[in-house]
Amino acid sequence: MADGIPQRTKRCVACGGQYFLAFFRPINTKVSRPPNTPQSYRDRCIGCEAQRKREEQAAQRYRRKAKATRDRHAVKLKRDRWIEHCDDLEEMYGWSLDEMVKGIKRVLNEGCPYCLEKVDPTERGLGVITLDIFNPQIPPDYLTNVVWCCAMCNSEKHKTSPEVWGARLSMWGRWRQHQRRVDDSPEEYGLFDWRVREEQGRLFP
């Protein structure tokens, strides 16, 4: 209630919340609506409208990222004779923008499938997420030979032999498990304790 006047409320069709009319954008203004016509308001509250706008903007960014990535790889794959035309990537190998957008979202939500670390686009935006053709020697099928990953892993992978990269990948899970053990029991698994054990082993064989 403001100045003794009861505030009218309205329920948002998106979230179901009941809010003051001030939290809804008006549909018609005093200038546009006929005389003696009551003011009407949108069905979504301002909060839900803002949230939907952010989601739409994010979806557009993901799609632009997917398209730019596909176009860039198409040029290289055409040069390497995997395709004749850029459109062949989607038609022959399943590089649809919808599937690529899902892959981008998966890395944002679940982290890099190589290093298992979370990806933070705060500073570099979606540039922290890149697409890797896992084995360039076989057809670039999207479902079986394409991986969205963090930019650091993609860069490291291209500098490393397949044998070393495979060995490195097998250790990420082990490293993460060790970190959890150190956090849970630093006295038993911490670096200092291992050094003490090694020293004691040399002194007291």
The token pair at 44 is 């979504």
∠ Cα 122 126 130 (to 5°): 130
203 pLDDT higher than 90: no
Sign of CA dihedral 145, 151, 152, 157: positive
Of the candidates 156, 179, 177, which has an alpha carbon nearest to the alpha carbon of residue 168? 156
Longest dimension (CA), the chain: 99
Phi then psi dihedrals of residue 50, to 5 deg = -65, -40
- Is 18 in a helix, a strand, or coil? strand
Contact residues for 181 (Cβ-Cβ < 8 A; gap 6+): 188, 189
The per-residue pLDDT for 123 is 78
| pLDDT greater than 60 at residue 3 | no
Q: 125 — phi, psi (to 5°)?
A: 65, -150
Task: For residue range 34-92, list pLDDT tens digits in order.
Answer: 677 788 899 999 999 999 999 999 999 999 999 999 999 999 999 999 999 988 999 99
Mean pLDDT of 2-28: 85
pTM of the predicted model, to two decimals?
0.70
Q: Residue 82 and residue 146: Cα distance in Å, rounded?
A: 14
The structure tokens listed for 103 are 């892959």
Overall average pLDDT of the 177-192 stretch: 72
For residues 194 and 205, give the distance between their C-alpha atoms in angstroms, rounded to a whole number.
15
Question: Position of tokens 């250790």?
Answer: 171
| DSSP tag of 37 | P
Predicted confidence at residue 5, as pLDDT, reads 56
What's the angle, vertex CA 57, arms to CA 54 and CA 102, rounded to 5? 105
Can you give the pLDDT at residue 30? 63
Residue type present at position 7: Q
